[in-house]
Amino acid sequence: MTFLFDLVAQGAQMLLALALSPLLIGLIRKLKARLLRRKGPPIIQPWRDLIRLLRKEVVLADNASWLYRSAPYLIFAMTWVAASLVPTFATGLMFSWSADLIAIIALLGSARFFLALAGMDIGTSFGGIGSSREAMFGSLAEPATIMIVFTVSFVAGTTQLSEIAAYMAGNLELRASVGMALVGLLIVAIAENGRVPVDNPATHLELTMVHEAMVLEYSGRYLALIELASALKLLLYVSLIACVFFPVGLARHDARLEAMAIGLGAYLLKLAIGGFLLALFETSTAKMRVFRVPDFLGAGLMLGLLATLLVFVTRSL
Amino acid sequence: MPLYLALTCISALLAVGVYAIVDRRNPDISRNVYRLCIALCSILFLAAAMPRGANVLSTTLPFGLPWLGMHFRIDVLSAFFLAVVNLGGAAASAYAIGYGAHEKEPMRVLPFYPAFLAGMNMVVLADDAFSFLVAWEFMSLASWALVLTHHHDAENRRAGFVYLLMASFGGFALLMAFGVLGGIEGAYDFASIRESTKEGWKTGLVLALALVGMGSKAGLAPLHIWLPLAHPAAPSHVSALMSGVMTKVAIYGFIRVVFDLLGPPAFWWSIEPLTFGAASALIGVLFATIQSDLKKLLAYSTIENIGVIFIALGLALAFKANGLALPAALAFTAALFHVFNHSLFKSLLFFGAGAVLGGSGERNIERLGGLIHSMPKTAFLFLGGCVAISALPPLNGFVSEWMVFQAILLSPSLPQWTVKLLVPAVGVALALSAALGAGCYIRAYGVAFLGRPRSDSARTAKDPDRWSIGAMAALLTLCLLAGLLPSLVIDTISPAARDFVGGRMPTQAELSWLSIAPVAESRSSYNGLLVFIFILFSAYSARWVIHKFGSTRSRRAPAWDCGYIETSPTTQYTGSSFAQPIRRTLGVIAFSVKERLDMPAPGDIRAARLNVEIKDRIFDYLYAPLTRAVETCASSLNILSLLTIQEYLALVFAALVFLLVLVAI
């Protein structure tokens, strides 16, 4: 019976992540529009777009290979698996131990690997430009993330995300290192999800685009999968920040249904707050030049390293 | 029994080399030689896997120095490396049955190839300094001869020269190291070295010499400069052996000397491997990212991976010195796991590069492109190798890197401040090199295999024969298995960790669901199999849902490219344009890049040019002054060759007096 319940909880988390991620995008778009005193599309709009895309015919470029056609499924699957391993409303779910935080980051790395390859498959210069920049951003953002993971794991003594969340929930105190890690992770999250000021998710046909340049040739169901994957990735980062740094209200996997419901409510609230802050941040900054991004990410990397060193020093005193 | 079997096989390999010379007129000679090599390597692999009743087997053969003989021994570490060497050897031989058939001058390969294999096997089994050095030099010389296979090319001759120079330098360092270890009494067998007492200065000296000697063969920066020249110069199956296997033999030598012969370590031993390992990882991957020669790129990436292995070994030393058995076992197991993994995927990638070279005649990725259409099988297998080496789950490269990260995460328990502050810096280097490595392989694969063909040879390239494809497929399968079932590999390595660092990881096979947990399940765990199943499940369920409820229609049309009309394939992103962001952001520090735009004046009709000048600082600031110094010394000592007979006699007398005084003191 417990087994069945655990399985249901894990499955619920998977479906929850899938269902909520386009809504988060919709919420951010709506809030951004409202901040600019526009009315904006309804929050459900991204889902409508996805369903419309799924029904459309795919137009493949003449020389698209099997890699191009299978990449969207792989990217979607890897991101989805990664997103469902991050605790949302409860910790310690059935399969939460099958990959720790490092493995989750690496899974996103795999998705990036295939996305960048897919961008180069057609052989257009836009695809190449996107992949090349994505590779550069990735090679700075990933080490920054790993350093942040180090900090958090040193503090909590584990790399299991559920255990980290449980530890953080049990030891609510202010730590300089954790604060630095939070700022670092925010920087990484903005860059990894291609948000302003690193990339602009709302534009096509701009020489500075990164993510959009890679997926330029995709259409129909393939495009839908990739859009869904990037929505899942945004949700993943928001959930990650929420569960590590603000683990309020998280239920344990063996908790009763009420606790789960409270956890779910808290999670939805956190998502809304995260979305609001992101929208606020995006409307108040301008996009930066591509070659300024390494400095931006370098700051994240340095913050991660400093935080790690700080933990080392304070730990042993 | 396994030891005698192994020694018989090694002599048989030497005999195969002789047979290749004797029977050189036979048109089937190449095929026969490689077939024999497969058989012998497989037997050697089985000998390594065979149960050894008394864990350690040794024997003494009446060759070599009269008072010493030749000692051979097989223990858990030798057995592991014997398996790695012969797995790589068997795969390379199978690949070569097809690939070697096109060799223009087979006599420049066939006699040396089995000898090279025999040399590597002998190094791993040697149990005294004399046989170790003989085997080591034999391996070096055989591989040098193989590097010079295509000696008509001036570049290859230079590669051979640099390789010979560095190999003799490294061999010299090893000679000194064993000299210091053996002492004046000349107790050169490893058993007596192990038992002898070592003073502080001795261990420091031996450690430095071993790092130089083994490091120069493994390609540890800054002794790596020969590697990107020599590895690509050899025929591809030999490149695979040199990169995938010979560097591992050097790692074996380092472990044998530092973890075994030198006795219990002090914490400062770890500093050198950690620093040089981190430097190699970064230098290797940065240079790999800007190469346009596919084989050179792979060679630089070997330097990166050797750096990762040395980092893990350094961590193991630090933990071992402080008596932390479990973390030491974790780091040591991670190092050996990465040795195994790298031998698999680097061989696979070199085979792939060889297939590309054989199929299209090109090594330069800037003239390739679109190979996924013309060489579909190679493209698939090479992609697998790229994913594995980029440390991406669920393949095997990720598992060993993950274990190194876990070992780093245990480092706050180290008491010494030096190591404690060094380890996070090494961690950044490791994370950076892993991420850059993924970017490097996106570039290599994307430019060479994807997109549109940039030349006719890329358009008309063909997949290689069945043997070559089979060898690559076998290696990819092993990569996948090692990634999905890492617990099997870890449990195989564990006995070696027990013997060499005094601890072992918990038995992984006992964990549920075949997952791995290096310390405890609440601390960290990873399950490659489950992650793989989840990915497959999610991908297929998404496909099923879309095909059921959405659309399955698709139509081919010209690429959109924001509305630009079809342009020539030269407008694609090239390898150097792909590397440009990395070159700009990290290039100034790493390789002193100078970019200069040569823009013609208005009205001038000459084309504008962008000149990119890339320099290797290590070569400019370390090797160039060194060669200049050697040259100055040599020319100033030149007068010694023009002395009269009286002066020579006086010189000899003075030297004699000096030596006698030295002995007297």
Q: How many CB pairs under 8 A join A and B?
A: 275
Domain assignment present for residue B223? The answer is: no
Which among A57, A153, A225 has CB closest to B542? Answer: A225
Q: How confident is the model at residue B241 (pLDDT cuts 50, 70, 90)?
A: very high
Mean per-residue pLDDT for B169-188?
Answer: 88
The CA distance from B196 to B262, in Å, is: 9
Searching chain A, which residue's CA lies closest to the CA of residue B519?
A158
Q: Which residues of B touch A121 (CB under 8 A)?
A: 372, 446, 450-451
Q: State residue B438's pLDDT score.
A: 95
Residues B593 and B604: their CA atoms lie apart, in Å, by 28
The answer to whether the CB atoms of A159 and B432 lie below 8 A apart is no
CA proximity to B554, closest of A121, A212, A49, A218:
A218
Residue B28 sits in the same domain as residue B143: yes
Q: What is the structure's pLDDT at A271? A: 95
Residues B508 and B622 in one domain: no
**Cβ <8 Å between A63 and B452:** yes
Distance (Å, whole) CA B252 – CA B257: 9
Q: What is the rounded distance in angstroms from the CA atom of residue A219 to the CA atom of residue A221?
A: 7
Mean pLDDT score, B556-565? 83
| Tens-place pLDDT, residues A29-38 | 999 999 999 9
User: Which DSSP string do the residues of B580-592 spell out, in sequence order?
Assistant: HHHHHHHHHHHH-
Residue by residue, DSSP assigns B13-62 as HHHHHHHHHHTTT-TTHHHHHHHHHHHHHHHHHHHHHS--TTS-EEEEES
CB pair distance less than 8 Å for A61 and B560:
yes
Phi and psi at residue B50, to the nearest 5°: -65, 140
Distance CA A130, CA A109 (A): 16
CA atoms within 13 A on the CB side of A82: 31
Last residue of one domain, picked from the residues B547, B578, B596: B547
* Interface contact A158-B562, CB threshold 8 A: no
Cα B514 from chain centroid?
Answer: 29
Alpha-carbon distances of B26 from B19, B29, B32, B93, B106, rounded to whole Å: 11, 5, 10, 19, 11
Taking CA atoms, what residue in A is nearest to B532? Answer: A78
pLDDT in tens, B46-77: 988 887 766 677 888 887 777 778 889 998 99
Q: Mind listing the pLDDT tens digit for each residue in B527-543?
A: 899 999 999 999 999 99
The reply to whether B192 and B271 lie within a common domain is: no
Q: Which chain B residues have a beta carbon less than 8 Å from that of A316?
A: 412, 420
Give the nearest partner residue to A113 out of B390, B450, B527, using CB atoms.
B390
- Of the candidates B664, B431, B279, the residue with the CA atom closest to the CA atom of residue A147: B431
- Are residues A113 and B427, on separate chains, in Cβ contact within 8 Å? no
Residue B173 sits in the same domain as residue B277: no
Q: Is residue B558 part of a domain?
A: no
**pLDDT band (50, 70, 90) for residue B475:** very high
Question: In this structure, is residue B246 part of a structural domain?
Answer: no
Q: What is the ipTM of this complex?
A: 0.95
Total domains, chain B: 3
% of chain B with per-residue pLDDT over 70:
99
The residue range of the domain holding B648 is 617-664
Rounded to the nearest angstrom, the minimum Cα separation between B206 and chain A is: 32
Q: Residue B554: list chain A partners with CB under 8 A.
A: 57-60, 220
Q: Return the bridge partners of B609, or none.
A: B598
Instruction: Determine contact, residues B229/B159, Cβ cutoff 8 Å.
Output: yes
CB burial string B337-375: b at 16+ within 10 A, e below:
bbbbbbbbbbbbbbbbbbbbbbbbebbebbbbbbbbbbb
Q: What pLDDT was estimated at residue A37?
A: 93
CB of A100 less than 8 A from some CB of B: yes
Tokens of residue B450, six digits:
């994807």
> Looking at the partner chain, which of B393, B451, B581 has a beta carbon nearest the beta carbon of A123?
B451
Rounded mean pLDDT, B366-391: 95
Nearest to B524 among A67, A77, A160 (CB): A160
B642 and B539: one domain? no
**What tokens does B440 get?**
């490097």
User: Does B530 contact A95 at a Cβ distance shorter than 8 Å?
Assistant: yes
Residue B593 covered by a domain = no
Classified as helix, coil or strand, B99 is: helix
Q: Does residue B319 share a domain with residue B193?
A: no
Out of A73-77, B4-8, B442-446, B582-586, least confident range? B582-586
pLDDT band, very low/low/confident/very high, at A207 (cuts 50, 70, 90): low
CB within 8 Å: B424 and A291: no
Tokens of B333: 């197991």
Taking residue B11's Cβ as centre, other Cβ atoms within 10 Å add up to 12
pLDDT over threshold 60, residue A317: no
CB within 8 Å: A136 and B581: yes
Q: How high is the pLDDT of residue B132?
A: 94
Cβ <8 Å between A66 and B372: yes
Interatomic CA distance for residues B391 and B396, integer angstroms: 7
Give pLDDT, residue B165: 92
Which residues of chain A are within 8 Å of residue B542 when distances are taken between CB atoms?
73, 76-77, 80, 225
For residue A101, give the amino acid letter.
L
CB-nearest partner of B523 from A110, A158, A217 = A158
What is the distance in angstroms between the Cα of B281 and the nearest Cα belonging to chain A?
14
User: What is the number of other CB atoms lying within 10 angstroms of the CB of residue B103?
Assistant: 16
User: Testing the interface with A: which of B585, B586, B588, B595 to mutate, by most A Cβ within 10 A?
Assistant: B585
- Tell me which amino acid residue B508 is: Q
> Looking at residue A312, what is its pLDDT?
80
DSSP reduced 3-state for B317: helix
Structure tokens at B24: 């050189």
In a domain, B273, yes or no: yes
Predicted confidence at residue A157, as pLDDT, reads 86
Q: What is the pLDDT of residue B16?
A: 94
Confidence of residue A204 (pLDDT cuts 50, 70, 90): low
Question: What letter does residue B610 receive in the DSSP assignment?
Answer: E
| CB pair distance less than 8 Å for A150 and B522 | no
- Contact yes or no for B247/B302 (Cβ under 8 A): yes
Contact (CB<8Å) B409/A131: no
User: Does the pLDDT value for residue A208 go beyond 80?
Assistant: no
Region B411-421: mean pLDDT is 85
Q: Taking CB atoms and an 8 Å limit, are A81 and B531 in contact across chains?
A: yes
Answer yes or no: is pLDDT of A92 > 80.
no
Does A110 contact B560 at a Cβ distance shorter than 8 Å? no
229-268 in chain A: CB under 8 A from chain B: none
- Are the Cβ atoms of B443 and A132 closer than 8 angstroms? yes
d(CA B330, CA B403): 7
Selecting from B370, B513, B538 the residue whose C-beta is nearest the C-beta of A81 gives B538
B492 CA: distance to closest CA in chain A (Å): 22
A-chain CB neighbours of B373 within 8 Å are 63, 65
**Cβ–Cβ < 8 Å for A74, B392:** no
Confidence of residue A205 (pLDDT cuts 50, 70, 90): low
**Same domain membership, residue B369 and residue B272:** yes
For residues A146-159, one letter each, b for 16 or more C-beta atoms within 10 angstroms of the residue's C-beta and e for the rest, the string is bbbbbbbbbbbebb
CB nearest A122 (choices: B412, B543, B559): B559
Give CA B543 to chain center in angstroms: 40
Full 3-state SS string of A37-88: CCCCCCCCHHHHHHHHHHHCCEEEECCCCHHHHHHHHHHHHHHHHHHHHCCC
Confidence of residue B406 (pLDDT cuts 50, 70, 90): very high
Query: Residue A103 and residue B393: Cβ atoms within 8 Å?
Result: yes
| Cβ within 8 Å of B, A 127-186 | 127-129, 131-133, 135-136, 138-143, 146-147, 150, 153-154, 157-160, 163
Q: Is the pLDDT of residue A94 over 90?
A: no
Structure tokens at B610: 């962008």
Tokens 């569960």 correspond to A243
The answer to whether the CB atoms of A311 and B412 lie below 8 A apart is yes
B442 with B334, same domain: the answer is: yes
Does residue B446 surpass a pLDDT of 80?
yes
SS3 of B52-86: the string is CCCCCEEEEECCCCCCCCEEEEECHHHHHHHHHHH
Crossing angle, helix B376-389 and helix B325-360, to 10 degrees? 160
pLDDT at residue number A231:
96
Contact A110, A73 (CB under 8 A): no
Cross-chain residue pair A103–B581, CB shorter than 8 Å:
no
- The mean per-residue pLDDT over the stretch B259-273 comes to 90
Here the tokens at position A265 are 């409510």
Specify whether B191 is located in the same domain as B295: no
Contacts of A63 in chain B (CB under 8 A): 370, 373, 452, 559
Q: What element of type H or E holds B488? A: helix B486-501
Domain boundary among B490, B523, B547: B547
Where helices occur in B361-416 by DSSP H, the ranges are 371-374, 376-389, 396-409
Flag if B573 and A221 touch (Cβ within 8 Å): no
Is A74's pLDDT higher than 80? yes
The residue among A122, A121, A129 whose CA lies nearest residue A213 is A129
- For residue A172, the model assigns a pLDDT of 73
Distance, in Å, from the CA atom of B281 to the CA atom of B301, rounded to the nearest integer, reads 8
A316, pLDDT greater than 70: no
Do residues B437 and B389 make contact, with C-beta atoms less than 8 angstroms apart?
A: yes
Distances (CA, A) of B476 to A107, A115, A140, A282, B295: 20, 22, 29, 44, 19
Nearest to B424 among A113, A158, A309 (CB): A309
- DSSP state letters, chain A: -HHHHHHHHHHHHHHHHHHHHHHHHHHHHHHHHHHTT-----TTHHHHHHHHHHHSPEEEETT--HHHHHHHHHHHHHHHHHHHHS-SSEES-TTGGGS-HHHHHHHHHHHHHHHHHHHHHS--HHHHHHHHHHHHHHHHHHHHHHHHHHHHHHHHT---HHHHHHHHHH-----HHHHHHHHHHHHHHHHHTT-TTT--TT--S-TT-SHHHHTTT--HHHHHHHHHHHHHHHHHHHHHHHHHH--TTPEETTS-HHHHHHHHHHHHHHHHHHHHHHHHHHHHS-PPPGGGHHHHHHHHHHHHHHHHHHHHHHHH-
- Report the pLDDT value the prediction gives residue B434, as an integer from 0 to 100: 94
- Which CA distances in Å does B5 have to B12, B19, B124? 10, 20, 14
| Mean pLDDT value across residues B634-650 | 88
| C-alpha span between B130 and B112 (Å, rounded) | 22
**pLDDT range class, residue A206, cuts 50, 70, 90:** low
* B442/A113 CB distance under 8 A: yes
Radius of gyration of chain B (CA): 26
Locate the domains of chain A by residue range. 2-316
* Mutation site for B-interface testing, chosen from A15, A75, A108, A136 by largest number of B Cβ within 10 Å: A136
Residues B33 and B159 in one domain: yes
Contact between chains at A107 and B531 (C-beta distance less than 8 A): yes
